[in-house]
Amino acid sequence: MEELLNELKEKFSSVIVEIQEKDYPTLICKRTGFLDLIKYLKDEKGFKYLIDLCGVDYLNYKQKKFEERFEVVYHLYNLDTKILIRLKVRIPEDDCWHYSVTPLFMTANYFERECYDMFGISFKGHPDLRRILMPDDWEGHPLRKDYPVYLEEEQEWKTYKEFTQKVKK
């Protein structure tokens, strides 16, 4: 485990900002060069299984120690050595995009679509970036912290409003 982390730190010193020891080793990475790192992990180190990809919104998080608003979190697993590592990429609000890993992992296709749907992070290189859980004409990104849990009447989904008016007639 430590060998792997040291090797990664040496080889990708420009990509990896920090290595944290949490419940699983956590690598905090920069956006530039991230694709090289994850490709190296997959092809050379056997991390072939992407368990999860998700976004986290850190708006107004009290204990925040960094500037960027969003984080994209990857959980990678090696089926042979049974090592799980977590990769994190921080994404600023005004420059809200990230590289897609769908060409490497077919699993990432839906995960990235969901991340785009819920947080508005667009993924460069994704073959079909559309909303997945919310309707296509939905406004806003629901899992952002500034999105309300209960919507006011004016903010409601337009298509639904039109539909109810049609039914009433």
Partner 1 sequence: MATYLEINKKQVNEEKWEEPFYINMGPQHPSTHGVLRLFLELEGETIINCTPIIGYLHRGVEKLGETLNYNQAIVLSDRLDYIASAANNTAFALAFEKLMGLEVPRRAKLLRTIVCEMARICNHLLWLATHALDIGAMTVFLYCFRDREWLLNIYEKICGARLTHSYVRVGGVRQDFTQEIIDELYKFTEEFPPRIYDYEILIDVNRIWLKRTKGIAVVPPEDAINLGLTGPCLRGSGIAYDVRKFRPYDAYGEVDFVVPTGKNGDTYDRYRVRMEELRQSNSIIRQCLDKLPETQGEPVLAENAPDLLMPEKVKEPKPQPVPKKGVIFRGVEKPIVPVGEAFASIESPKGELAVYVVSDGSNKPWRLRIRTPSFVHISAIPYMAKNHMVADLIAIIGTLDIVLGDSDR
Binding site for partner 1 (CB under 8 A): 22-24, 48-52, 54, 56-57, 61-63, 73, 75, 79, 82, 84, 86, 105-107, 109-110, 114, 118, 131-135, 142-143, 149
Q: Which is nearer to partner 1, 79 or 161 (CB)?
A: 79
Closest CB to partner 1 among residues 9, 144 = 144
Let me know: does 94 contact 36? Beta carbons within 8 Å.
no
Considering the complex, what minimum distance in angstroms separates the CB of residue 56 from partner 1?
5
13 contacts 33 by C-beta, under 8 angstroms: no
CA distance 90 to 103: 21
User: Measured between alpha carbons, how far is 144 from 97 in angstroms, rounded to an integer?
Assistant: 15
Nearer to partner 1, 14 or 155 (CB): 155
Q: In angstroms, what is the minimal distance from the CB of 129 to partner 1?
A: 14
CB of 116 to partner 1, least distance (A): 13
Q: Considering beta carbons, is residue 5 or 143 the nearer one to partner 1? A: 143
At 148, list the tokens: 């309300």
Tell me how far apart the alpha carbons of residues 76 and 104 are, in angstroms, rounded to a whole number: 12
Q: Are 87 and 32 in contact (CB under 8 A)?
A: no
